[in-house]
A and B are shown apart, each in its own frame.
Chain A
Amino acid sequence: MANEAVKYVWEGAIPLQIHLHKSDVASHPAPPPALVLAPRIGYLPLLIPLIKPYFKDSLPPGEDSIWFDYKGVPLKWYIPTGVLFDLLCAEPERPWNLTVHFRGYPSNILIPCEGEDSVKWNFVNSLKEAQYIINGNCKNVMNMSQSDQEDLWTSVMNGDLDAYTKLSPKLKMATIEDDFSRKASLSSPQSRQGVTETDVAGQVKTARIPVRLYVRSINQDFKNLEDVPEIDTWDDISYLNRPVEFLREEGKCFTLRNAIESLLPEFIGDRAQTSGEERSRDDDNTEEADGLLREMGEIKLARIQGIEMKLEIPFSWVVNNLMNPEFYLHISVLVKAPQR
């Protein structure tokens, strides 16, 4: 029996309104948009069997090579749908209006996608990488039988948390000790056993957590999210695929803020600007502290699974409850850049 937070994550969905791109419209009148509910933990290419029937009679002759864009930005199909939404829509847009293309795949920008196989392959690779980070090796994924791997993938595709919960123990991912989750092991002792050398030593002192951080940086402060400028290209976003070194210290709680700051050292709250030539705009020296603050960057917003996170939340809770099925934690961050 999985805990409530994990159920919330698996049930999360985003209403999409999908428009056929005008250059692919070969019928008159143009077809109306398709309305589809997309699982947050799923991927856009998996929706194609749902979308295609709406548009197939309108397409020009030729072979399909399907891709999506949001306001002109081609969408990276291997990023979970929920993450794309959290990242690209500062002010959440419901339904989320996307454009689908059936021709003209931008292969100089997007890696190729051959439907479900590509998505599955990407999922398994991410899972291997996550396992390598957590366990130090990926032998459990590699040793999984073909049919178990298939079943695991199918459970993710179908959003079947029960099936996934039965299969994921075979991965033997080390668990992160966490004082803040309801212990799922109380209800099913077998299914949540973490099997690593940490069992012998007791609580793990440091652990590596798979994190994918997507950072949007803006120069100006804003009152409302709708004032945040649109993204024109992926070059406006910094992507960091690197593990967080999770530190456990006696008496200290390692928070989400600590985790994000470990990946973005420029935004550490108590680290003053050391460069001598940077000067505060204020002439008044007693406002030196304010000047320093202005020069540092600031984490304005961190979203995980569509939730705007309080940064002081214990990172162990976040990891145990908000990960995606491939064991990666995807964090979308909006930062105000340091003034230079």
Chain B
Amino acid sequence: MNSGREVSDGRLTVEGFSVAARAFADKWKIHNQSFPPWSWVPLINRTLHLSNQQEEGYLSLEEILILSSLEESPEDESLNVATDCLEKEESVDHTILVQNQENEAHYYDFHIVYSSSYKVPVLYFRGYCSGGQPLSLDVIKKDLPSCSVSLLHESKWTFITQEHPYLNRPWFKLHPCGTEDWIKLLSQSSISTGCQMPVDLYLVSWFSVVGQVVGLRIPLEMLN
């Protein structure tokens, strides 16, 4: 097995995922300050203590507040993220929490979880109202920017409802089959390196594609 520093077949080891996750979270914090930072959630299981030699876990970005509104956002490429999303719930203006289809507050959680079966990261997400009621996929699609929706239609991306691997609740996930193929395509940047991609950049590259499907864009600077 290689040193784990580089990925050549589009797939990640579990250690590689931990490294890539931290690199991703660090870059996001620096370059993507309009969003809160991702946090690393270690898999210290409630009933078991999993081995801490390889600290396993997943990345979490939660309580992203989307104010759905009638007007199309002028820059129709990102989720219409409320600028006060960095603040905790106490400071949310309660007038937007009225049961009104056009101005309902929707919250989103995103988890990037490692799949040991497919050896790639998988994006899980869910949406809910301020009362905690889960949002259906139809409602979620209305929150997505229109370019994401067309990506969904055109390509083979599918959202499936599946149980979160660790949280015993239904979440949506983007099906991972085929991930290693397009990651390999992404890493064919130069002939001399072949298909090598440094582990540090794996999640950044991965997210540059996957994020678009859920309306989360990353600034180009993160790809350096």
Contact = CB atoms under 8 A, between A and B. Distances in A.
Interface of A: 76, 107-112, 128-129, 132-133, 138, 210, 215-217, 233-239, 241-243, 264-266, 335, 337-338
B46 interface: yes
30 contacts: A107-B134, A107-B170, A108-B133, A108-B134, A108-B169, A108-B170, A109-B169, A110-B170, A111-B161, A111-B163, A112-B161, A128-B177, A129-B117, A132-B117, A132-B118, A133-B117, A210-B117, A217-B47, A233-B168, A237-B47, A238-B45, A239-B165, A241-B165, A242-B116, A243-B116, A264-B48, A265-B50, A265-B51, A266-B49, A338-B49
Contacts of A241: 116-117, 165
B162 interface: yes
Nearest to A208: B117
A90 B72 CA distance: 56
Interface in B97-136: 116-118, 133-134
Interface of B: 45-51, 53, 116-118, 133-134, 161-163, 165, 168-170, 177
Contact of B162 (A111, A236, A238, A337): A111
A111 B47 contact: no
**Which 3 pairs, one residue from A and one from B, show the smallest C-beta to C-beta distance?**
A265-B51, A242-B116, A217-B47
Contacts of B116: 241-243
A238 B47 contact: yes
B137 to A, nearest CB: 10
Contacts of B49: 266, 338
A265 B53 contact: yes
Given A109-B168, A215-B47, A237-B47, A242 B163 contact: no
Nearest to B162: A111
A242 B168 contact: no
Contacts, number: 62
Contacts of B177: 128, 132, 138
Contact of A215 (B48, B51, B163): B48
Given A109-B168, A265-B53, A129 B47 contact: no
A242 B170 contact: no
A266 to B, nearest CB: 5
Given A111-B170, A129-B118, A243-B117, A76 B134 contact: no
Contacts of B169: 108-109
A120 B70 CA distance: 39
A169 B53 CA distance: 40
A113 to B, nearest CB: 10
Nearest to A263: B50
Nearest to A142: B177
B162 to A, nearest CB: 6
A129 B46 CA distance: 27
Given A111-B163, A265-B53, A234 B134 contact: no
Contacts of B170: 107-112
Contact of B168 (A107, A112, A235): A235
A266 B161 contact: no
Contacts of A132: 117-118, 177
Contacts of A236: 47
Contacts of B163: 76, 111
A234 B168 contact: yes
A183 B118 CA distance: 31
A338 B47 CA distance: 10
Contacts of B48: 215, 217, 238, 264, 266, 335, 337
B169 to A, nearest CB: 7
A167 B165 CA distance: 31
Nearest to A241: B165
A216 B46 CA distance: 11
B4 to A, nearest CB: 16
Contacts of B118: 129, 132
A133 to B, nearest CB: 5
B160 to A, nearest CB: 8
B140 to A, nearest CB: 15
A235 B51 contact: no
Contacts of A210: 117
